[in-house]
Chain A
């Protein structure tokens, strides 16, 4: 399978990429790792007339600790995330999630920015970024704006990134207190998208009281989804086993899975309940 014809540019600066986007309008698409876009172009689900390859722009790929947050450049590869001890040390959830995204070769190409910009609720990073309460940096002709992760996903393949804009970075705040995070997804085999996945981050104060709870769900809603009611139930509590079980039940009630080859609705709700409970416990165990 070979994609339909297109023109190709590989600018070496962000400004150049932005003016190419301006010039070609919504005829153009950004090429990051290409591991969602090229398969879609082969299948003619996408036929952009112009590809703007941003792989040659320096500075878009980095993992930096900046005071009370971590900053990830949009072109940071999954394999860079996987092997960054600074990042996986602070947020073990990144070690969990990268291992479950596709396979090593795909992770050598796929980027964290592309994983979000693709706007697919089946991708794993959206739920993780919700659990971590990340914000997304988007650069356009007027400069850079920051969008909270809850305002980022609009619909199927639709995000806050406009046709003349580029997602340039992701910022992840460090929560105060004892903080732990965890991700798991049920998958039929390596390389499959989640039947259901759950991302959790929990922070507690010195008395063990929950001060922050972030819970994101993968592939059980039309758009990436936050389990809001579950989070609210946990914050302020002492995280008893009973309450955790209730929060997990709420997540399974609030999600909207659809039946497909991976399973029926009831099975997916059951998975959300079980995985949410396990990931909350795991995040608490890991808290430091």
Chain B
């Protein structure tokens, strides 16, 4: 078995590593590059906790080999905020109580980045289908949907929806 030398750009910074071909991308990110914001939930491509952007596309990094990311750009939750402040999705999750334990949140937000890029003004149904590969054990999803609607409005420059909690 031959080691492979790969180079990836993680959140804008270039890194090289010598890896076994069987190393999973999520382990490269968490263990070799020490970016532990990306979580491992199921390890079986079901839960979406490990979702990152690979060249702008949301993928489950527990089911991609690190060698497949050679020469590519990776965005993780650590890459969302900028010097100007939180990413609209981070602000949306914060304002709308879009998280409880936070385990699903990084994957949920990275998935939502691509969702809003493809469709800046999604309906509630489109959001629910759009995050159908991400499981949340805590929130019941309603506040996640609101958080994504809030981020969409912010990105479009529209009036922000109310963040008053709903009591039912």
Contact = CB atoms under 8 A, between A and B. Distances in A.
A55 interface: yes
Given A5-B1, A55-B68, A104 B111 contact: yes
Contact of B63 (A5, A39, A83, A104): A39
A35 B62 CA distance: 10
The size bracket of the interface on A is 20 to 34
A102 B4 CA distance: 31
A132 B57 CA distance: 30
A105 B48 contact: yes
Interface stretch (A6-14, A115-123, A257-265): A6-14
A34 interface: yes
Interface string B41-65: 0011110100100000111100111
Interface of B: 1-2, 4, 20-24, 27, 43-46, 48, 51, 57-60, 63-65, 67-68, 70, 111, 114-115, 118, 129-130, 132-134
A190 interface: yes
Contacts of A55: 68
A53 interface: yes
Contacts of A206: none
Closest 6 CB pairs of A and B: A103-B133, A8-B21, A190-B132, A5-B1, A108-B57, A3-B22
Contact of A5 (B4, B22, B59): B22
A218 B13 CA distance: 45
A109 interface: yes
Interface in A9-29: 10
Most buried by B among A4, A38, A102: A38
B133 A6 contact: no
Contact of B43 (A1, A31, A79): A1
Contacts of B48: 103, 105
Interface of A: 1-8, 10, 31, 34-35, 38-39, 41-42, 51, 53, 55, 79, 83, 99, 102-106, 108-109, 190-191
B18 to A, nearest CB: 13
Nearest to A99: B129
Given A8-B21, A103-B134, A106-B133, 20 more contacts: A2-B22, A2-B24, A5-B22, A31-B68, A34-B63, A35-B45, A53-B67, A102-B133, A103-B48, A104-B111, A104-B129, A104-B130, A104-B132, A105-B51, A105-B59, A106-B63, A109-B60, A109-B63, A109-B64, A191-B132
A85 to B, nearest CB: 13
Contacts of B70: 10
A6 B20 CA distance: 8
Contacts of A191: 46, 132-133
A257 B122 CA distance: 39
Contact of B111 (A1, A6, A39, A105): A105
Contacts of A103: 48, 132-134
A34 B60 contact: no
A109 to B, nearest CB: 6
B63 to A, nearest CB: 5
A5 B67 CA distance: 13
Contacts of A4: 22
A156 to B, nearest CB: 21
Contacts of A105: 45, 48, 51, 58-60, 111, 133
A104 B133 contact: yes
Contacts of B67: 8, 10, 53
B160 to A, nearest CB: 26
A255 to B, nearest CB: 28
B1 A53 contact: no
Contacts of B23: 2
Contacts of A38: 63-65
A32 to B, nearest CB: 11
